[in-house]
Amino acid sequence: MLSPSTARVAPALVCSGHHSTASGGPVRIGNRIVACLGAALLAGAGAVALPTTAQAANLLDDPGFESGGLSDWNCSDGAGSVVSSPVHSGTKALAGAASASSNARCAQTVAVQPGTTYTLSAWVRGSYVYLGATGGTATWTASAADYTELTTSFTTGAGQTSAEVYVHGWYGQGTYHADDISLDGPGGQPDTEAPGTPGTPRVTGTSATSVSLAWDAATDNVGVTGYDVFRDGTLATTVTGTTATVTGLAPDTGYDFTVRARDRAGNTSPFTAAVHATTDPDGGGSPGFVQAAPYLYLGWGNPPSPTEVMSATGIEWYTMAFILARNGCNPAWDSQRPLTGGQDEAAVNAIRAAGGDVVPSIGGWSGNKLGPNCSTAQALAGAYQKVIDAYDLTAIDVDIENTDEFENPAVQDRILNALKIVKQNNPGLRTILTFPTLNTGPNSWGDRLIERAHALQADIDNFTIMPFNFGGHSDMYGHTVNATEGLKAKLTSVFGWTDAEAYAHIGISGMNNNSDVGEVTTPQIWTQIRDWANSHDIGRLAFWSVNRDRPNWEFTRITAGFTG
């Protein structure tokens, strides 16, 4: 594999009358990288007076990402996110998930003064991290195991009133981090001109719980950075493009939507005319997506007859484990057994013949998973589609754990985008994310997963946490409730849902009897958890696993009493 110093490199740039490669670093010109880090004038520079000296004053908004979001930054390919660790200072930093097809470029445009010298600096961490100004100079580091400061300077051209600064990684080099980015110098005239009104808002699709919208782009003297979508006068979501899907809606209900544009200075346009949409009826005839589905694993532990368990307990759904990758981006049971023609398909057919159904669990803690093996969201969606088609599924669950998926920003985003694609291609399909939790709610990776699900408009139906393996905590009922309440708080904060809407999008997946670290959940505790889940109308209840629920299927029988 070519290294970043040799891959995708254009001919050398003529700098100050020379071909210059001595500085060893690249500058972006259009979509190509060339070797040249000498000082350069930005566009518009010519025979001008000597530049003025910049006075130290950071012109960037949210330079340390302490807001927890990226509204002030424009990150390509959805590859940027805000993380809580590692940071240089404060509590937040930027993570850019550079992949084979994206360098995870994040940029911000600011007002500047003509003919003025500015100093740009940032603390970065990772392999081949770049800092620069578009049309000007750049600097980089080949490898920074810990935060390292990069500094460069540039001079604006005559008549130049804005400048774009950026940070990015390199193709295939993995996630980089950046923090405390600073652009020192005098600011330009403040932008007080509002964008124009977006054009022609329209409804492009509906489901029982969502409405998809589109509109024509607005114009602005500097540039539109986002659009606010309002539902019945309340902000529902903010997007950077000209489409949005508003989720968490009630079935068979009418809503009015308006859109306004926003520029980097915070100026907002007038609202569009309202467009009306009515969500679809809930075809299932139920109050929402409710699923009691304990795990059944045919690859381990003397698996029981699923129909005998159904007859003995009244359970109707199973979460069937595990779909993994085989020979690249191809789905198979345990990476070994084919989707059809074996014991797994026979079990699914028997369950359905007995009046039940299944949701396959894709992923898990260990094994060769599809998320890292499928190189793009489109390829991963294709793998998911093979599973959907094999069993004509109405729901799929992605169990996202461990460092290869859960703690990997690029794979997190790939999974979310893939689920968005299959949701769009399979009307009525329910999508579930299952992931670990702290006893107080999601950890930083869980927070990121939820935030990116919202930002990417993935339209996830259920966020299921696994409240166990906390490290020896004895009060499994109390800690399960606290973890679920923490998830509810995060969902209401990110999606703007009511408490009831958030609970309806929540699932609990426990572990019967002993957890991996010795925590004990008795049938009595599981009954308490089930009753609490029913009283709060959450959407899903599962446990690991029916294989371990012997000899009397007590936990399965308790789970069958979950009504949501």
The CA-based angle 149-153-159, given to 5 degrees, is 145
Instruction: Given the residues 401, 405, 501, 519, select the one marked as catalytic.
Output: 401
CATH topology for the 199-278 domain: Immunoglobulin-like (2.60.40)
Instruction: With beta carbons less than 8 A apart as the criterion, state whether 157 and 171 touch.
Output: no
For the chain, the straight-line distance linking the first and the last C-alpha, in angstroms and rounded, comes to 51
Q: What is the mean pLDDT of each run of 10 residues along the chain (564 residues)?
A: 33 30 30 31 36 60 93 88 93 92 91 90 96 92 94 90 93 94 86 91 83 90 87 89 83 93 88 93 56 94 93 96 96 96 96 95 96 96 96 96 96 96 90 96 97 94 95 85 96 92 95 91 94 93 96 95 90
Look-up of token digits 């002030």: 72
291-559 domain in CATH 3.20.20.80?
yes
pLDDT confidence of residue 249: 83
Instruction: With beta carbons less than 8 A apart as the criterion, state whether 42 and 163 touch.
Output: yes
- Amino acid present at 525: I
Strand partners, 111: 162
Same fold, 199-278 and 291-559: no
Neighbours of 546 (CB within 10 A): 25
- Residue of 222, 89, 103 whose CA lies nearest to 166: 103
Q: Helix or strand or coil: residue 117?
A: strand
pLDDT confidence of residue 57: 66
CA distance 497 to 251: 15
CA distance 517 to 182: 45
- Amino acid present at 227: Y
Neighbours of 95 (CB within 10 A): 26
Q: Report CA 74 to chain centroid distance, whole Å.
A: 15
The CA-based angle 63-64-69, given to 5 degrees, is 90
pLDDT confidence of residue 282: 65
The domain ranges of the chain are 47-184, 199-278, 291-559
Please tell me the CATH code under which domain 47-184 is placed: 2.60.120.260
What sign does the CA torsion over 93, 97, 103, 105 have? negative
pTM (predicted TM-score): 0.56
Instruction: With beta carbons less than 8 A apart as the criterion, state whether 25 and 37 touch.
Output: yes
Neighbours of 101 (CB within 10 A): 11
Verify whether residue 308 is a known catalytic residue. Answer: no
Angle between helices 377-391 and 409-425 (to 10 degrees): 50
Q: Helix or strand or coil: residue 154?
A: strand
